[in-house]
Amino acid sequence: DFDRSIQLQPTFAATYLARGILKYVKFNNSRAALVDVERSIQLDPQNANSYIIRGLIYDSLGNRAAAIASIRQSAKLAKQQGNQKIYQQAIDFLKQRGATAN
């Protein structure tokens, strides 16, 4: 369970991200998910996946500007890291909302 994992390794960013995704997808609890994803980003600010998830959560909360900013950060990191899958997901999201990557 994620809570136990966080107790054992409170600085492991991936666990916060996974718990945030679970809260967002399975429990439809965007606000609680955002707290975990934000913590994940604090612990590992180079994880492009965390930013794309945060962008989706912001989008679900109706915060378009924050969603676009987060997705742009995801695209930037993914491009730098050569992560084509995340980069393309970010670009597709931005295009759907009439935004650009920069």
For residue 61, what is the domain's CATH number? 1.25.40.10
| Full residue range of the structural domain in which residue 27 is found | 2-96
Name the strand (E) or helix (H) holding 58.
Answer: helix 48-60
Query: What percent of the chain clears pLDDT 90, i.e. is strictly above it?
Result: 95
Instruction: Report if residue 41 sits inside a domain.
Output: yes
Instruction: Report if residue 30 sits inside a domain.
Output: yes
Residue 101 pLDDT more than 90? no
Give residue for tokens 């924050």: 66
Q: Is the pTM of this model over 0.95?
A: no
Instruction: Report if residue 102 sits inside a domain.
Output: no
Structurally, how many domains does the chain consist of? 1
Mean pLDDT (the chain, rounded):
97
- 33/35 Cα distance (integer angstroms): 5
